[in-house]
Structure 1
Amino acid sequence: MTQSEQHTGMNIHQIKNYLPHRYPFLLVDRVSHCVPGEVIEAVKNVTVNEPFFGGHFPQRPVMPGVLILEAMAQACGLLAFRTRESQPDEEQPDDSKLFYLVGIDKAKFKRPVEPGDALVLHARVTRSMRGIWMFSAEARVDGAVAASAEIRCTMREV
């Protein structure tokens, strides 16, 4: 992979090549920037048609915090896959391998996420040790932090 390819974004079709999630659980619509081994910026466009808004909450729709965390975790998974792909000495991920979420620490929610928001997901690799990847992640709306967490994942055979 060339240096310029490492910095490119990803459209939904490319994202689906990495993540096994599908509607209604695929929570990353686009990757605007990715530097393997370092950072990723992705976007989840939140629409009023999301299936969870009917019950959370009918009078004032708010994206559930657990789904904001899941969106951040999916962005972390994409960064982990792209990082592994860019390392020629590493065993390469294939269709039989997935990154599983193994932990979330220090989760904080600062503001609600509502229909019409573009949830911008930022994740940075903080460490990778003995098969466990650690990330610092944030979800922002209009530049303001909506949520943040430390996320851990690991790659496993399916």
Structure 2
Amino acid sequence: MNDSLSQDTELSAMSLAEILKALPHRYPFLMIDKIIKINGDETAVGIKNVTYNEPIFQGHFPGNPIFPGVLIIEGMAQTAGAIVIKHDANEGGKNVVLMLGVDKAKFRKPAGPGDIIEFHIAKIQRRRNVGRYEAKAIVDGTIIAEAEITAMIVKADQ
């Protein structure tokens, strides 16, 4: 991922209210609380505050709550999808992003209650309506998971 930005790059963010307008996901399946440091559809950082009150912890695992890896992947995908939808809305369209694939997924360390997961997303490539994104989940400066996500962007009315 390229963390350096040119001086003329404008950064923005998305509040929870903006995320809810962009994504169809709702509680308990919305995996991001806000998005910070958005650079168009190129890069972004999504934030997930993991709390003990998450319904998933009733069964995963009682007495040793671990946030499921598949939900970490979903948080990565939702972060990428939200910035694409925001970017494309600025271009005059309402879209939905559908996940096509997950490649090179690796889980290095678990996350649990009290952790703040940062989903670092960087566009690898986008051709017409298919995009590929590098994603890393980071807690306290340590990469806990990473993957490449492929998604298709379709018109909301299709």
- What TM-score, normalized by structure 2, do the two folds share? 0.89
**By how many angstroms is 1:78 displaced?**
1.2
Residues 81-140 of structure 1 show CA distances to partners (whole Å, capped at 9, x for unaligned) of 133234x4xxx332xx31001110000001000000000010001101242100000010
**Unpaired segments ≥5 residues, structure 2:** 1-7
State the AA in 2 paired with 1:142.
D
State the AA in 2 paired with 1:99.
V
Which position in structure 2 is the counterpart of 1:76? 80
Cα-Cα RMSD: 1.5
Q: Secondary structure at the match of 2:21?
A: helix
Which position in structure 1 is the counterpart of 2:93? 93
Separation of aligned partners in 2, 1:125 and 1:63: 25
Separation of aligned partners in 1, 2:41 and 2:17: 22
**By how many angstroms is 1:26 displaced?**
0.6
Which position in structure 1 is the counterpart of 2:133? 135
Q: Secondary structure at the match of 1:80?
A: helix
- What TM-score, normalized by structure 1, do the two folds share? 0.89
Which position in structure 2 is the counterpart of 1:62? 66
Q: Secondary structure at the match of 1:9?
A: strand
Q: 1:25 aligns with which of 19, 24, 29?
A: 29
Separation of aligned partners in 1, 2:32 and 2:93: 20
Separation of aligned partners in 1, 2:43 and 2:136: 11
**By how many angstroms is 1:7 displaced?**
1.1
**Unpaired segments ≥5 residues, structure 1:** none
State the AA in 2 paired with 1:72.
M
Separation of aligned partners in 1, 2:45 and 2:145: 15
Q: 1:103 aligns with which of 101, 104, 110?
A: 101
**By how many angstroms is 1:69 displaced?**
0.3
Separation of aligned partners in 2, 1:108 and 1:35: 25
How many residues in Structure 1 have an aligned counterpart in Structure 2?
A: 149
